[in-house]
Amino acid sequence: MDKQVFLKDLQKQLKKFGVNNASDYLDYYSEYLDDLIENGLTEEEAVQKVGGVKKVLIEIISDNDVEIPQTSDRLKSALLIVSLPVWGPLLFALYLIPILLIVAVLLIALSFGIAGVWTLVGSFIVTFKIGVLSAGLQFGISLVFIGLAILSEQLFAGMSQKLFSFNKYLFKKFNVRGI
Amino acid sequence: MNLFKVNSKIIILALVLIAAGVVLALVSYSNLHFDVSALINHGGTWYAPIKWDMGY
């Protein structure tokens, strides 16, 4: 077994055991092997002198400075992943609710706007066809509609701003690797 | 005035429009003696720019 194969094998095993500071040990053993090779041993002899992957692994795991996450944490994350089909869709539905609410508010704003403009145009026609009083009533109603349209539009703007900042917060919170 | 941002001026404008509309509608309607049938008996032709023939 040459040095590269030994280090790769060791890396795989350390990953399997969830060792957080695996690179420290890999660096250490890489340098150690280099020293042995400099002192005249071949790569195979050096790896043999170190004791092979299994022995080194046992040494690392029993080392005082090794960082292995608590079993409960690993169990927790395993449970989280296994139960993803249950809570995933629920979480997604929960996330969809505000988005659909915002769409609903936008549609309300649009409906009020269209109704407002429609009755506004109609009120001018009513002035000549029926009379000023009926036109006044319709004009008043159209103003109410347009006012409600603007209010709903503002509600839409506010809600989408809130959703945007919430998404930004979520991105910052879960973007631990700093993409 | 950006319509796509929450703006207190726009909200106040909307509230003023609603208040003015309610007052105008109520005043006109009171002058029509709150007569619902007077409005409806136009056969629906009065409230929209297009003539709406419902067939009755």
A130 contacts on B by Cβ (under 8 Å): 42, 46
Percent of chain B with pLDDT over 90: 38
Minimum distance, in Å, between the CA of residue A135 and any CA atom of chain B: 8
What is the count of structural domains for chain B?
1
Contact state of B10 with A137 under an 8 Å Cβ cutoff: no
Q: Per-domain residue ranges for chain A?
A: 3-68, 83-174
Average pLDDT over residues A94-116: 95
Indicate if the pLDDT at residue B30 is higher than 60: yes
Contact state of B28 with A137 under an 8 Å Cβ cutoff: yes
Minimum distance, in Å, between the CA of residue A171 and any CA atom of chain B: 23
pLDDT classification of B54: cutoffs 50, 70, 90: low
Q: Are A132 and B46 in contact (CB under 8 A)?
A: no
Name the nearest CA neighbour of A32 among A14, A12, A13, A59: A59
Indicate if the pLDDT at residue B47 is higher than 60: no
Q: Are B28 and A136 in contact (CB under 8 A)?
A: yes
Residue B23 sits in which domain range? 1-56
Average pLDDT over residues B21-36: 89
Average pLDDT over residues A148-176: 91
